[in-house]
Each structure stands twice: as C-alpha cells, then as structure tokens.
Structure 1
Amino acid sequence: MPHSLNRRDNVSDSTTATSPEPDDIRAARMAAGLTQTEAGDVVHASLRTWQQWEAGDRKMHPGLFELFKLKTGQKRRKQATSDRKNQD
C-alpha cells in the first residue's frame, strides 16, 4: 500500500491547533496598534478577509494567527514574560 501523502493522518488530535476566536483576532490587532488594512498586509490578506475574520464570518487558520503574532512581536513578548517568571 502506498505511503499516505496526507500528513494530518500522522498528527494526533492533541496537537491540532484551533482557529482563533474573532475577539482574539481583534485584540491581537489592537495590541499591535494596527488598522484592519495594516493587519491584513502583515499576513498578505485583504481588508475584506481581515474584516471577515474579526466578524466571525470566516475562520482564520491558526498558523496564520501565529504568524501575525510573531511578526507583530506578540509571541516573543509572551514567551519572554514566561521566561522571566520561570527565573524567579
């Protein structure tokens, strides 16, 4: 039998990320101090797509949300805060 090309077959459910909630998307954009147009530009998405994500009309891929947070410095700040707490 040929090897499966579908990688999801090899991923357990416990490691599958879920799409962010619209409020989380909006909060991340606001924390970055960006307009919806600017936020979309960060991840190469249109204004309309970003609006749909924030309205809950369309799901944002979890990897894209993580990319947005990394590119806007939000992922590093959270990690740095966690690292400081572990040093105390």
Structure 2
Amino acid sequence: MQPRPDTLRTTRNGLGLTQAQAARLALVSLRAWVKYESGERAIPAPTWALFRLLSGITTLKQLRREIR
C-alpha cells in the first residue's frame, strides 16, 4: 500500500528527517522526494518499502507478509 503525500510527510517528520535525508535513505533524488510529498508523483511501492525498512519503521518479516 502506498502512502498519501501527507502521510509520507508526517512519517518523515516523525523520524526527524529532512527531505534530503529521506531521499538519500530511499535512494532517490531530492526532486523525486519533493514530488512524492507534494502529490505530484506517487512514490513507487519498492521505494516506499525500502524507505520503511531502512528507517526502521518496518522489518523485513513484516514486508514479506505484506507481499503475500
């Protein structure tokens, strides 16, 4: 499931990350991240999964369950 732009922004802020830090964590450009948060572009599911995993929001086990 992909987050809404406001959920993405709230999640990032809750982690205490700047947009640039979140972009680096998700392995995307700052420009792409800004577009995700503005709603101009939907964040791809693999990018959202990677961000959640590397930021500690979720575990690999949880991601595997979501995929099934």
For Structure 1 versus Structure 2, the TM-score category normalised by the shorter chain is: 0.7 to 0.9
1:19 and 2:38 correspond: no
- Pairing 1:46-65 to 2, within 5 Å after superposition: 46-65=29-48
Q: How many residues align?
A: 60
CA distance in 2, matches of 1:35, 1:68: 13
**Higher gyration radius (CA):** 1
2:27 maps to 44
Specify the SS of the correspondent of 2:17. coil
CA distance in 1, matches of 2:49, 2:10: 13
The residue aligned with 2:58 is: 75
Runs of 4+ with >2 A deviation: none
Q: Kindly indicate whether the alpha-carbon contact (under 8 Å) linking 1:43 and 1:64 is maintained by their aligned counterparts in 2.
A: yes
What percent of counterpart residues are identical? 37
Q: Which runs of 5+ in 2 are unaligned?
A: 63-68
RMSD (Å) for aligned C-alpha atoms: 1.5
What TM-score do you get using the length of structure 2 for normalisation? 0.76
Asked whether the 8 Å contact 1:53–1:60 carries over to 2, the reply is yes
